[in-house]
Amino acid sequence: METVKIGLLGLGNIGTGTYKTLEMNKVQITKATGLNLEISKILEKDTTRERDITVCQEQFTQDPDEIFKDPEIDIVIELLGGVEPATTFMLEAMKNKKSVVTANKAAVAANFQKLTDTAKANHVEFRYEASVGGGIPIINALTTVLQANEFVEVQGIVNGTTNYILTQMTEFGLKYEDVLKKSQELGFAESDPTADVEGIDVANKLSILISIMFNTYIAPKDIPTQGISNIKQQDIEAAKVEDSKIKLIAYAHKEGDKLEYSVKPMLLKNSHPLASVSNEFNAVYVTGNAVGELMFYGKGAGPLPTGSAVMGDVLEIAKKIYNK
């Protein structure tokens, strides 16, 4: 059986979840692909942290070129987060004829065209399923089996932290500040929660969805964006009176040549399938002119759900490279 060697950039929470997904499902993955997948080199400073996976010290490197210049490595997984150096590393990997998989929404949203063009120019694959909706296989669906559609609309709940806060405010009548504080204590919200609560993270994901669905690039900073930090208990109560819920929605709609888009808290009737998406769950509601309305629902974050999406991308690339 052929061995596919993989380089991993970053062994934080998501990197560890990805490594663990491969480790615990090795038999299934080998059966599905007919290939032996192996993460052979890992770029990571923290080589001693307790991680609940089996990694040898020899796998670690501090020099990204040891991955990019390794002729045995076919695929590079980028899980550093942030726009730089992640983007530079991904481009460098592609120029060295490595296919790239990432979960990094900030980098993909900021450099969508450059990353996809560079992959094309170097005849390598570039996949980013985990960048929107974590484990939910939305990107692959939009770019493969739904391609016979003209897309009309997307509405997405694509940030778990804000959906958790809104759900807790709705179900238990709690104040925004109190839920945020509790979420931070539980490690569920960042100590600086700005990117989540102000909708910046959602804007990154919406930018990626718009690129794919409408073949148009809108930079995240050009998407009108409003977060949830101003939502008061009285807004939640007013929504209840109208048999509705407030959700932070990534929205885009195309009519003719006109594309509208926004990130903002919206009122959804309780009968809408998105209204019952609670706590840390994510969902993307898509309308295509042939398929009609579709919803994809699942865990939008977490090491293993994200690891599932990252490894799914890796498997697809490996099967393509080795003709399986």
User: What residues are annotated to the active site?
Assistant: 205
- Cα separations (Å) of 38 from 29, 74, 81, 220, 237? 11, 11, 22, 35, 52
Q: Report the site for a second copy in 21-50 (rule: CB under 8 A).
A: 21-22, 24-25, 28-29, 31-33
Token pair recorded at residue 11: 């062994």
Q: Is 271 an interacting residue with respect to a second copy (CB under 8 A)?
A: yes
- Binding residue for a second copy, selected from 60, 137, 184, 211, defined by CB under 8 A: 137
Number of residues that bind a second copy (CB under 8 A): 52
User: Judged by CB, which is closer to a second copy: 160, or 193?
Assistant: 160
Residue 207: which H helix or E strand, with range? helix 200-214
Distance in Å from the first CA to the final CA of the chain: 12
The number of angstroms, rounded, from the C-alpha of 181 to the middle of its chain's C-alpha atoms is: 25
Counting contacts by CB under 8 A, is residue 268 touching a second copy? no
List strands edge to edge, sheet with 73-78: 60-61, 36-43, 3-9, 73-78, 99-102, 126-127
The CA distance from 50 to 162, in Å, is 30
List the binding residues for NADP(+): 10-15
CB of 225 to a second copy, least distance (A): 27
Minimal CA–CA distance to 166: which of 260, 246, 241?
246
Closest C-alpha among 224, 219, 272, 223 to residue 245:
272
Known binding residues are: 10-15, 105, 190
Q: Does residue 135 interact with a second copy by CB under 8 A? A: yes
Span interacting with a second copy, options 48-56, 64-72, 177-185, 297-305, rule CB under 8 A: 297-305
The Cα 197–Cα 181 span in angstroms is: 12
Shortest spacing between CB 309 and a second copy, in angstroms: 7
User: Which residues belong to the annotated binding site for NADPH?
Assistant: 105
Taking CB under 8 A as the binding criterion, the range among 47-55, 138-146, 160-168, 190-198 that sits at the site for a second copy is 138-146
The minimum distance between CB 271 and a second copy, in angstroms, equals: 8
Would you tell me the crossing angle of helices 112-121 and 86-95 to the nearest 10 degrees? 10
Nearer to a second copy, 11 or 213 (CB): 213
Q: Which one, 91 or 213, has the nearer CB to a second copy?
A: 213
Cβ closest to a second copy, residue 265 vs residue 305? 305
CA–CA–CA angle 139, 143, 149 (5° rounding): 115
Q: Which residues bind a second copy (CB under 8 A)?
A: 17, 21-22, 24-25, 28-29, 31-33, 129, 135-137, 140-141, 144-150, 215, 271, 273, 276-277, 288-299, 302, 304-305, 307-309, 311-316
